[in-house]
Structure 1
Amino acid sequence: MITLAACQYHIDLLETWDAYAEHLSTLCQQAAEQGAQLLLLPEYAGLVLSGQLPAVERSDLHASIAGIQPLLPRWLALCEQIARDCNVYLQPGSMPVLDDDGQYRNRAWLFGPEGCLGSQDKLMMTRFELEQWNIAAGTELTVFDTELGKLGILICYDNEFPMLARTLAEQGADLILAPSCTDTVAGFYRVRVGAQARALENQIGVLQSPTVGMADWSPALDENNGRAALYVPSDYGMPPSGIVAESAELCPSSSQWLVCQLDLDEVRRLRDHGQVFTRRDWPKQFGIVSAGER
């Protein structure tokens, strides 16, 4: 049994590094004090760093993304230190990162008590990211081998594409972390439905963490809605709904942790002793082809 914490992360204006560092450290400590072993924050949580920029810079989409790049090493060091100090695995959300090829990518890191375990880029970009943010897609999927189990990360829109989760499952992932950032309630439900479907199809767990709140100071994080949740297959020993836990409010006025427990051994057991074998009975097993391919 492992204890997980997914944050409904409220987008607050934090205008100094010290204020931000205190905010993130205190928030993570609160989850650790509740026994959480793995902490998940949402997509683009790192963009809160733009609150430290001059008002004219943080109110400009492209200037705010460029302006936080010098803060990246300090942010990574802070996240690593929090994971060590709290003795937890920490996925602190994602942020846009300027790569050596001149392209920005939406990147999420995973930290553990032993330090940084690596990163995962978002693979499927939304229209907004492509057409307005000019953020490029990543190219690879990574499975992280931890003391809690094998983890994968699918960032927001990635959860709406079955083959990405299937690839992680075939590489041994038992739990997918799904940091998300959606402005509309419809957007939240798209990611939620995708995440829950991925849990059902692959007989794994999926943990979702969303941004919430209004941030008129940031063109990137202006409006946010979503519920944190843990999804599992609807099968023996699991909740009939497939929802282990879900935060009560769609948009609380402050950051809230959803702390819940998951027995990954019981989830794995369903692959051999469940009512159905969705993981095994994948369509390719039957050679299904479309009408146009016949």
Structure 2
Amino acid sequence: MFEVACIQLEARDVSQYEQTEKEILEWIDSLCSEEKVDLLVFPECAWPAYFLRENEEAAELALKRTPNFMKEVAQRAAHYRVHIAMGLYVQENGLLRNAGFLWGPEGEILGRVYKSNLWHFDRKFIEAGELFSVIDTSLGKLGMMICADGRAPEIARILAEKGAEVIIDMANLVSSASSTTLLMNPQIEYMLPVRAFENGVWIILCDKVGLEAYSIMNTGRSCVINPLGHVIGSSPSDTPEALIATVDTEMASYPLPDKENRCFARLTDPTEKLPVTSLMAKPMVLAETGAVCSAAHFSAETADHYVAMASRMIRVLQDQDASLISLPDCGKKADFDEVVHKLRPLLNPKVVVCVGGLAEIDGHKKRAAIAFSKDNTYGPIFLDKACRPVVFSTEAGRIGLVIEEEMFLPEVARSMMLEGVQVLFWADAKRHAMTEKIARCRAAENRVFLIRAGCGDKEDNSFIVSPTGNICAITVPGMDQSASAYCLLGEAYSKTVITGTDVVLGRLPHAYKELRNTSRKEE
């Protein structure tokens, strides 16, 4: 257990590097003199600034001063006997690096990281990092990542697989709003809580506030997130401050599905060999990929009642031009095969229905999911047999079936994305506190659509998420209802988040070799 202080700095232009240096050192002196803290965390590019082109002459002077600045930080770490994590630009072997350093209480550099998942114009100036180190310290095992690295599930996963108990995320998260008090970012809203949850680790995010170079509005909202995905402390979006929180590395995490004997070979395949890469390169008329997707939600007391409600929903939705329909889990209320048998004759030729429930295999009932049309069946996929994620090419697009807590593993949805999935269907029979955040994260980190079919309970619901992570249709809990959205499924093959950042082309699969140790079953 230890005390951490996230120092949320005011963003400044690189021309103000002298003031920036003074403020950073004053923050260290002030906090360590007044508070008992074990770890101080500063944002990405705390020194000298994030956008160096604002004043290239000042940037050159600042970068020359970097070694002296680092000595000042090291001296304070030793003097106050604290750990300090900080993001800064460094020049190494003729390369400019967006780096993060961890100093120990002796003033020594314990570890470093280089930004790997480059954001926007980063690629113009810096080299991507391939270093995912976990540092064994007196505080515990610490991993580090920088800003947009939090968007790539592989990076936090590698750190966790290497034993990280805490991941420090140094960031300059950007946003926009009509007021600085309203600023928010997807990483803060749902991505980083999911990273903490899916890896069973603490995440310490330190961000900046304010405007840099007239164009980079920092989000603030530095926070500390526990292994259950709960934010235990956060800063405002518009005020520099030191957020102090207690990190308990002994805290239990949620028991996640085992990854043993699963095949996630796609995660380390070369980008040029991925199915999604060839699909991304094919020309298309975006309007021709449009489809009405519908998420149905209803309760049923008996098998006959379930089939009757599903039949009514299908008739209504087909009249409203739905081509991909998800139904709530039929569970113990109806026989899985009987549901498919009775509903199939109702379908128009190009309509696909997805449903989860219990299906028989080897004489036992197992959790399963299936998709079917009037003429074809896709699956079933069984919960305990889903060792290799499968993508089906159907009349309504390329879909993947994910059952219950399998969605908690980022490798499942990630592998399906690399196989070229357009829509993830989540057959989920039990709502979790993290359900909505996980759904939004899986859609956004993979740039795909996601439809979650709830279990039909009064406190549950169904919804559709767009590739941006926004919920575009949702049902009201406790109401028999369907919610529909017009989805341009071709958008699932546009993997660009912003110019310079692509969730497929920006990956570094050759650097993810650690994932083979636990998640790759050789074919």
Deviations 1:45-95 (A, max 9, x none): 112499xxxxxx9743x4444332211110110110111122110012x22
Q: Which residue of 1 aligns with 2:465?
A: none
**AA of the residue aligned to 1:69:** L
> Is structure 2 residue 219 aligned with structure 1 residue 232?
no
Distance 1:222 1:36 in 2: 31
Deviations 1:149-172 (A, max 9, x none): 000111000011111111101111
Distance 1:214 1:185 in 2: 10
Change (3 A) 1:258 1:127: same
**Native 8 Å contact 2:40 2:85 kept in 1:** yes
> Is structure 2 residue 254 aligned with structure 1 residue 262?
no
Deviation at 1:289, TM superposition (A): 2.4
**AA of the residue aligned to 1:147:** S
> Is structure 2 residue 204 aligned with structure 1 residue 207?
yes
Distance 2:125 2:53 in 1: 17
**Native 8 Å contact 1:161 1:194 kept in 2:** no
Distance 2:23 2:117 in 1: 30
Change (3 A) 1:163 1:69: same
Distance 1:65 1:182 in 2: 21
> Is structure 2 residue 67 aligned with structure 1 residue 80?
no
Distance 1:49 1:194 in 2: 22
**Native 8 Å contact 1:150 1:172 kept in 2:** yes
**Native 8 Å contact 1:150 1:175 kept in 2:** yes
Deviation at 1:206, TM superposition (A): 0.1
> Is structure 2 residue 191 aligned with structure 1 residue 194?
yes
Q: Which residue of 2 aligns with 1:289?
A: 389
Change (3 A) 1:210 1:28: same
Distance 1:146 1:212 in 2: 30
Unaligned 5+ residue runs, structure 2?
178-182, 264-385, 392-418, 421-523
**AA of the residue aligned to 1:23:** E
Distance 1:49 1:190 in 2: 20
SS for the counterpart of 1:47 is coil
* Greater C-alpha radius of gyration: 2
Change (3 A) 1:265 1:290: same
SS for the counterpart of 1:68 is helix
Deviation at 1:223, TM superposition (A): 2.9
Deviation at 1:113, TM superposition (A): 0.9
Change (3 A) 1:98 1:174: same
Q: What number of residue pairs does the alignment pair up?
A: 263
Deviation at 1:201, TM superposition (A): 0.4
> Is structure 2 residue 103 aligned with structure 1 residue 111?
yes
Distance 2:260 2:230 in 1: 20
Distance 2:195 2:67 in 1: 33
> Is structure 2 residue 120 aligned with structure 1 residue 127?
yes
When structure 1 is superposed on structure 2, of 199-208 and 176-185 the one drifting more is: 176-185
> Is structure 2 residue 274 aligned with structure 1 residue 277?
no
**AA of the residue aligned to 2:61:** G
**What is the root-mean-square deviation of aligned Cα atoms in Å?**
2.9
Q: Which residue of 1 aligns with 2:325?
A: none
**AA of the residue aligned to 1:75:** F
Deviation at 1:197, TM superposition (A): 1.2
Change (3 A) 1:201 1:23: same
Q: Which residue of 1 aligns with 2:296?
A: none
Change (3 A) 1:95 1:289: same
Deviations 1:117-166 (A, max 9, x none): 12110111012211xx4211011211111100000111000011111111
Distance 1:68 1:265 in 2: 41
Distance 1:232 1:40 in 2: 16
SS for the counterpart of 1:165 is helix
Q: Which residue of 2 aligns with 1:53?
A: none
Deviation at 1:259, TM superposition (A): 0.1
Distance 2:260 2:45 in 1: 33
**AA of the residue aligned to 1:190:** P
Distance 1:188 1:40 in 2: 20
When structure 1 is superposed on structure 2, of 62-71 and 107-116 the one drifting more is: 62-71
**Native 8 Å contact 2:20 2:48 kept in 1:** no
**AA of the residue aligned to 1:195:** L
Distance 1:231 1:6 in 2: 12
Distance 1:49 1:36 in 2: 27
**AA of the residue aligned to 1:40:** V
Unaligned 5+ residue runs, structure 1?
51-56, 235-240
Distance 1:233 1:171 in 2: 16
Q: Which residue of 1 aligns with 2:408?
A: none
Distance 2:85 2:159 in 1: 17
Within 5 Å, give how 1:132-143 maps onto structure 2.
133-143=124-134
Distance 1:283 1:76 in 2: 45
Distance 1:74 1:28 in 2: 16
**Native 8 Å contact 1:120 1:141 kept in 2:** yes
Q: Which residue of 1 aligns with 2:89?
A: 96
**Native 8 Å contact 1:212 1:226 kept in 2:** yes
Q: Which residue of 2 aligns with 1:54?
A: none
Distance 2:248 2:145 in 1: 21
The alignment's TM-score, normalised by the length of structure 1, stands at 0.79
> Is structure 2 residue 172 aligned with structure 1 residue 181?
yes
